[in-house]
Amino acid sequence: MTTSEVQKHLNEFGLDLEFGTYGKIKGLSGGQKVKLVLAAAMWNCPHMIVMDEPTNYLDREALGALSAALNEFSGAVLMISHNKEFYSSVCGEEWFVEADAGGCGRVQIMGESSEREMKAVAVKKVFEKEESKEQEKEKAGGNSNADGDKYKDAAQDFWGKSLAKKNARNYEKCKKKGDVEGMRKWLEIPVGKIMPGFEMLGDGKTPIA
């Protein structure tokens, strides 16, 4: 498991590079901490999710995204919540617990849950690394730059943004030449920083052997 794999998972829950790879939990807002907990709960693709007041600290946009995701989820969902607007959009069966005149708990059940369609078998996340064109060429018997083979292909810059076509082409040229300074430039890596997954490019200050 690599940092980039974890960050890719966090991106799906609205936690960008700034808050995931380069942030600390103590610096997250209440809503971001809820997103982090949800991301952790979904890491192993569970068959059932148990949620206690999941709407706390989430804004309307995040609530809408969570509702849509839970409705797409093919496993079981058990939820404790006081937010009727939210739980009614997800749960077909609702249990209301209240005390009667004698102080005893009484359960009233409304609606009926139905079996969810299993869209796919839940399996642990597997991240496959795609071979670069240079690697394919090498396997086919072609020639490739010896220095360039040491460095990884890149689809995103240091800040998590997709590389523009021009920047991607320039990065590829520097990669083939083994130009570390050029690769750091096109990936917008600040001096003194190391980009996760691209540790071979160094921090821009210490000479690379």
| 10-19: average pLDDT | 88
Please tell me the distance from the alpha carbon of residue 176 to that of residue 145, in angstroms, as a whole number.
Answer: 6
Please tell me the distance from the alpha carbon of residue 127 to that of residue 19, in angstroms, as a whole number.
Answer: 22
11 vs 123, which has greater pLDDT?
A: 11
With CA atoms as reference, report the closest residue to 174 among 141, 193, 191, 198.
Answer: 198
Whole-model pTM over 0.85? no
Check if the beta carbon of residue 4 is closer than 8 Å to that of residue 197.
Answer: yes
Domain 3-111 CATH (choose: 3.40.50.11890, 3.20.20.80, 3.40.50.300, 1.10.3660.10) = 3.40.50.300
CB neighbourhood size of 123 (10 A): 8
| Whether the predicted pLDDT of 7 surpasses 70 | yes
User: Domain residue spans in the chain?
Assistant: 3-111, 134-201
pLDDT of residue 112: 79
Q: Would you give the distance in Å from CA 44 to the centre of its chain?
A: 13
pLDDT of residue 195: 86
> Tokens in use for 62?
């995040």
Read off the pLDDT band of 125 (50, 70, 90).
very low
Residues 6+ apart with CB under 8 A from 44: 124, 125
Check if the beta carbon of residue 188 is closer than 8 Å to that of residue 199.
Answer: no
Lowest mean pLDDT among 18-27, 67-76, 123-132, 199-208: 123-132
| 91-111: average pLDDT | 83
Please tell me the distance from the alpha carbon of residue 37 to that of residue 54, in angstroms, as a whole number.
Answer: 10
Please tell me the distance from the alpha carbon of residue 116 to that of residue 182, in angstroms, as a whole number.
Answer: 51
Read off the pLDDT band of 80 (50, 70, 90).
very high
Q: Scan for tokens 């920047």, then name that residue.
A: 167
